[in-house]
Chains A and B, each alone.
Chain A
């Protein structure tokens, strides 16, 4: 973590999406999405499946380009960034994929070491020491020499988080980090996300539809429906809001005011 300066939270947004539209074939997934992530906060994007949450993360990291609208990461216009600018932006971003996306033919230690072997001139023993440090942080040091195929879903995600941390990011994007995990592992991952934010001061976007995870890890929560943010607030306010789209989602679609688009 020592290779990059710590982020000190201030009022300037570290990530901004302005009126973003994205279409896949005939389906318009995002329809004018706006959001801002402040430095040092964990911003949760909550919403049902298929509302463009993961697409939003891919737009932030430049894996997808918006059809319309603007995406800024640390003031860099990602929507029209050159390859060099994208490399520079990505060097500050860590992305935790839903599946972990570990390289299957590398063992746990080699996966975590990837950002270090690729982008630093550290000696092998120094890389090994840092790999141990990150694996200890996510409680996976005992699996250091195992292959990804030998790990459970939760273990893969923890190793993937260690790999993300090895890249010394100032921004971490979490794509459904608790999907498919049992409640104990969900709590474990949520606490890890909170721990990473507190100890390393990173800014994060957490995409999930898992409420306990959102409440445990999030500072602010945005509700996405119909391709745009229909409501956002700090975590406490969000929990008690009467906004119809939020109540619909929180009640699992069975509650009052159950219009998913948030229309009164």
Chain B
């Protein structure tokens, strides 16, 4: 019993230390953005490419088929009630509010976040991070800040692409399988989104999704970098860091997503 409590205590302590370290990393690295953004412009551009362009094919395929599946599943059910043209509203609102940012964040966690944890973890166990610290180069500014900027910019942009492509995927199924006119479908999407408050020219359902995506991007970059920077114990440690970063990102995205929805819509 005492042994169990000791293990539990050690686990909780390590969890709290990890949470504290990740929050500190996020705050300190973000604070470097204004000071070091221009100096690190090359690394930032590289990260924009890594976080935005590389995962784009996966995002496009997933978004298209998600829209198509959603249209088919809901369309076939609604057809029985003579309301199949309502799929436009369901797909439009569902993708923009929740599924767009959520799916994009999960894809980025699995592709970019895992890559960040593995890359920084490998740098940690091969003493490259120590070398940076001895040269008085802060990993927060040199490694983490460009990744936070990259994901904070690219996650909303990819979410926007997911929203548009997913809606078009629904349109394809609507037109070919459910015989809904593309014009009626697009008008349905527009009507479903347009009655809410607008901000920066975007309907509420769209901009709240983009705000969520921005927060998810910062979470993925911070949690993955934190896991990498705390890696130890060679290749096994890097594997452990990568795994833990993916799990923690998934959990945080779902939990934070719920509270943000609650904040925006309750």
Give chain A's interface residues, CB within 8 Å of chain B: 58, 61, 63, 87, 90-91, 93-95, 97-99, 101-104, 114-115, 118-119, 167
Q: Please indicate which of the listed interface residues B128, B131, B132, B134 has the most CB atoms of chain A within 10 Å of its own CB.
A: B134
Query: What residues of A have a CB within 8 angstroms of the CB of B131 in the complex?
Result: 95, 97, 101-103
Task: Check B133 against A63 for contact (C-beta < 8 Å).
Answer: yes
Task: Check A167 against B130 for contact (C-beta < 8 Å).
Answer: no
- Residue in A93, A98, A103 whose beta carbon sits within 8 Å of that of B134 in the complex: A93
Interface presence of B261 (CB below 8 A): no
Instruction: State how many angstroms separate the Cβ of B6 from the closest Cβ of chain A.
Output: 15
Task: Check B136 against A99 for contact (C-beta < 8 Å).
Answer: no
Which residue in chain A gives the minimum CB-CB distance to B142?
A118
Which residue in chain B gives the minimum CB-CB distance to A96?
B131
Interface presence of B137 (CB below 8 A): yes
- Residue in A87, A91, A102 whose beta carbon sits within 8 Å of that of B128 in the complex: A102
Interface presence of B126 (CB below 8 A): yes
A103 to B124, CA, bound (A): 11
- Residue in B126, B136, B137 whose beta carbon sits within 8 Å of that of A101 in the complex: B126
A174 to B135, CA, bound (A): 15
A102 to B129, CA, bound (A): 10
The 5 closest A-B pairs by CB, nearest first: A101-B131, A101-B127, A95-B134, A87-B136, A97-B127
Q: Please indicate which of the listed interface residues B123, B130, B131 has the most CB atoms of chain A within 10 Å of its own CB.
A: B131
Task: Check B128 against A104 for contact (C-beta < 8 Å).
Answer: yes
Instruction: State how many angstroms separate the Cβ of B135 from the closest Cβ of chain A.
Output: 5
A118 to B134, CA, bound (A): 12
A167 to B136, CA, bound (A): 10
Task: Check B134 against A61 for contact (C-beta < 8 Å).
Answer: yes
Task: Check A103 against B128 for contact (C-beta < 8 Å).
Answer: yes
A99 to B128, CA, bound (A): 9
Task: Check A97 against B130 for contact (C-beta < 8 Å).
Answer: yes
Query: What residues of A have a CB within 8 angstroms of the CB of B127 in the complex?
Result: 97-99, 101
* 13 further contact pairs, Cβ within 8 A, besides A90-B133, A91-B136, A103-B123: A58-B130, A63-B133, A95-B131, A101-B127, A101-B128, A102-B128, A103-B128, A103-B131, A104-B123, A114-B137, A118-B135, A118-B136, A119-B135
Task: Check A119 against B136 for contact (C-beta < 8 Å).
Answer: yes
A-B contacts, 20 of them at CB < 8 A, read A63-B134, A87-B136, A90-B134, A90-B135, A95-B131, A98-B127, A99-B126, A99-B127, A101-B127, A101-B130, A101-B131, A103-B128, A104-B123, A104-B128, A114-B135, A115-B135, A118-B136, A118-B137, A119-B135, A119-B136
Query: What residues of B have a CB within 8 angstroms of the CB of A118 in the complex?
Result: 135-137
Which residue in chain A gives the minimum CB-CB distance to B130?
A63
- Residue in A58, A104, A167 whose beta carbon sits within 8 Å of that of B135 in the complex: A167
A140 to B59, CA, bound (A): 44
A58 to B129, CA, bound (A): 13
A90 to B131, CA, bound (A): 11
A23 to B133, CA, bound (A): 22
Query: What residues of B have a CB within 8 angstroms of the CB of A104 in the complex?
Result: 123, 128
Which residue in chain B gives the minimum CB-CB distance to A148?
B128
Instruction: State how many angstroms separate the Cβ of B72 from the closest Cβ of chain A.
Output: 44
A101 to B135, CA, bound (A): 12
- Residues of B108-132 contacting chain A, CB below 8 A: 123, 126-128, 130-132
A97 to B134, CA, bound (A): 11
Query: What residues of B have a CB within 8 angstroms of the CB of A95 in the complex?
Result: 130-131, 134
Query: What residues of B have a CB within 8 angstroms of the CB of A102 in the complex?
Result: 128, 131
Query: What residues of B have a CB within 8 angstroms of the CB of A103 in the complex?
Result: 123, 128, 131-132
A102 to B127, CA, bound (A): 9
